[in-house]
Chain A
C-alpha cells in the first residue's frame, strides 16, 4: 500500500467496568487500515470485535494506547471533535436502524444534511440517485416498514455512502438477511467501495462473503491474531 493509512491503531487496550468489576476486553491492538481496502474482521462471539469497531467510529472514548482516524488522534479528543469525525464515517448496522418515520429518500437525506458543503437544493436529487445506485429507484417513497430486510439494508448502505465517506464501518451487515440478499448487499458494498475509493471494515460471522475482502483479520479473546495479514481467504 503506497498511500498512508487512514486508521492507525497502536497498543490499544480497552476495559469495561470499574474497580473490582473491571475487565480487559481488548489487548494491545495494533492495526492499520489503508485507503480503498476492504477489511473483514472475524472472530468468536464476545471476542471484542464490536468494541473495537465502536472505538474506531468515535462512539466510545479511548482509554489506553493510540488511535488515529484521518490523521486525528482520538485519545483525549473532545466530544465536538468526535462528532466531527463521525460525520466522515459511514455506519452500517446489523439492524438497519433506519428512521421509521422517514421514507427511503428522507432517510438517505439525513446523512446529507450533516455536510455543509452539500447544497440544500441537491439533497433530493443526491438521495434519489444514491437509491437508484443501490437498485431501489422504485422504492424511493417507501417507509421502512414496507421494505424487505434486504431493501432496508440497501437503504442503510445508501445512507452510509451518500456523502462519500472515506471510511465505512459495518457490523454484521448480512446477519439479518437470507443468503441471496446478503450476497446482494455485500456485492453492493464492494462495488461502491471501488467506485468511491473508500475503505470498509466489516465485522462478520458470514463465511459466504469473505471473498470480497482484500484482507482478513481475526479477533480472539480481545487480541488480533498474528496471521491477520493473509490477503487471500480462499487459500
Chain B
C-alpha cells in the first residue's frame, strides 16, 4: 500500500471544479476536431458514392471534366473504339447533367443531379436501381434517391406510399415511380436516375452521341492496369482513361483541391486545436502559478527541475486522456445526429479516432511546454 506519490494526479484531482472545467474544455475541442474531420470525410464519402458503385473496371471521361457535377461531353465513338482493345468485355455509356426540380409554383427550384443510364445494362451495383430497369425504359419515368436533402422528404414519403410524384425537371413533367439509396453529396440537392432516352428529352441541347462517362468492363482474369495502359495508347488525347479507383480519387480531388471545402474543414480542425490548447494552457499555467511556492519548496528540498517538468507534462497527458474520452463519446452521438438530420454519412473510423487522440495529446503537450516556462520563476532562495 506504500508507493511513490503521483503528484500530477494528486494536484489535478485536488481541485475538482477546475479539473471538470478543464476536461469540459478539452472535450469541446475534441468534439470540434471530430466534427470538422467527420464532415470532411463524409463529404468525400458521399460525393463518391456513385463512383464507388459503378459497374466498371475502367472509366472514360473528358479531360476537362472536373467532378460529377461538372462533366464535359465526349464522343460516344471513343467508348466503342475501346471495345477493340484486347481484353475489354463490354462498354456502357452514361449521361450526367445538373437539372432543376420544380414541384409546384410556390416552391423554389432545386438543383438535382440526373443520371441517364442504359436500362438494358447494369450501370450501377445498386440492386434497388436495377430492379427498376424495366420500368424506366418508359419515357419520362425516373427514380429518386431516398437520402436526398430534407426538402425532398415529402416526395420520398409519397413515393414510398406508392404514389407517383410528378415534378417538372428542366420544365418537363416527369413521373417519379421509385426510390433507391445512394446518399446526397454537397454538390446537389438530390439524385435522379432515368433512362438515356428520357435523359435526352430532359436535356434538349444534348446529342445522343455525346456522353459524359464511359464505363468499361474487362474480361475476367485480365490485368486491369495493362488494359488501361493499352487504352491510353490506343485512344486519342480527347478522352482520359481512369481505373475505377482513380475515378473515385478524381472526385475526391475535386472537392479537396478545387473548392474551399477541404480548406474550411482543415481550418475548423485547427480552430478546435487552438481552442483546446488555450484551455489546457490556462489550466496548467494557473496550476503552476498557484503552486509556485510549493514548487520552490520541492526544489529547495532537493527535487530536480526535471522532476517538476515531468509533473507538468504528466498533468498535460492526464488532461488529454480524460478530456478525449467524453469528447469521443459526444462526437459519436453528434455523428449519429448529423447522419439523421443531413443524410451525410458521418461516421467514426479508427484512424480518425487515433488522429484526434494524437492531436489532443500534442495540444496538451504544447500547452504544457509553454506553461512550464513559468516554473523557472519558482526560486527556492525566495521562499525563506
**For residues 18 through 76 of chain A, which have their beta carbon under 8 Å from a beta carbon of chain B?**
50, 53-54, 57, 59-60
Stretch in B51-59, B95-103, B236-244, B293-301 with 4+ CB within 8 Å of A: B293-301
- Residues on the A chain within 8 Å of B260, using CB: none
A167 to chain B, nearest CB (A): 13
The answer to whether the Cβ of A123 comes within 8 Å of any Cβ in the partner chain is: yes
CA of A194 to CA of B11, assembled, Å = 36
A188 to chain B, nearest CB (A): 19
CA of A88 to CA of B302, assembled, Å = 8
Over the window 113-138 of chain A, the binary record of Cβ atoms lying under 8 Å from chain B Cβ atoms (1 yes, 0 no) is 11000001111110000000000000
**CB contact under 8 A between A124 and B2, given known A83-B302, A100-B294:** yes
- Residues on the B chain within 8 Å of A86, using CB: 300-302, 380
Q: Which residue in chain A gives the minimum CB-CB distance to B303?
A: A114
The answer to whether the Cβ of B304 comes within 8 Å of any Cβ in the partner chain is: yes
- Residues on the A chain within 8 Å of B7, using CB: 102
CB-contact partner of B5 in A95, A109, A122, under 8 A: A109
CB-contact partner of A59 in B3, B298, B300, under 8 A: B300
The answer to whether the Cβ of B157 comes within 8 Å of any Cβ in the partner chain is: no
Contact A101 B384 (CB under 8 A): no
Q: How big is chain B's contact interface, by range?
A: 20 to 34
**CB contact under 8 A between A101 and B302, given known A54-B381, A120-B4, A123-B3:** no
A110 to chain B, nearest CB (A): 7
CA of A171 to CA of B380, assembled, Å = 13
Q: A-side interface residues toward B, CB under 8 Å?
A: 50, 53-54, 57, 59-60, 83-84, 86-88, 91, 93-95, 97-102, 106, 109-111, 113-114, 120-125, 171
Given A59-B381, A86-B380, 19 further pairs, Cβ under 8 A: A50-B384, A86-B300, A86-B301, A87-B301, A87-B302, A91-B300, A95-B383, A97-B297, A97-B383, A98-B294, A99-B297, A101-B11, A102-B5, A110-B298, A111-B301, A120-B2, A120-B4, A121-B2, A122-B2
Q: B-side interface residues toward A, CB under 8 Å?
A: 1-5, 7, 10-11, 14-15, 291, 293-294, 297-298, 300-304, 380-381, 383-384
